[in-house]
């Protein structure tokens, strides 16, 4: 597997939730104070990320049942 393929596979698995969890509380507090709209968008991305994971899980579960 080439380096480009390995990097692509890594980013395919990386989710916004993974990135969000790297932020410390001080940084998130600063965003909430200085730019609450940005924090709101981040929360929307977290919700979308969660929905995507649920849908993937449901598809896998349905395939395994058949």
Per-residue confidence (pLDDT) for residue 41, from 0 to 100: 97
Per-residue confidence (pLDDT) for residue 64, from 0 to 100: 72
Give me the helix-helix angle, 36-65 and 25-34, nearest 10°: 120
Q: Is the pTM of this model over 0.85?
A: no
| pLDDT tens column, 4-62 | 666 555 556 788 999 999 999 999 999 999 999 999 999 999 999 999 989 888 887 77
Report which of residues 63 and 48 the model is more confident about. 48
Q: Which phi and psi (to 5°) does residue 21 adopt?
A: -65, -15
Per-residue confidence (pLDDT) for residue 59, from 0 to 100: 85
């Amino acid at each position: 597997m080439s380096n480009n393929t390995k990097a692509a596979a890594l980013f395919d698995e990386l989710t916004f939730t993974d990135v969000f969890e790297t932020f410390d509380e001080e940084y998130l507090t600063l965003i909430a104070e200085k730019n609450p709209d940005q924090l709101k968008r981040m929360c929307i991305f977290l919700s979308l990320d969660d929905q995507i994971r649920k849908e993937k899980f449901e598809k896998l579960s349905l395939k395994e049942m058949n």
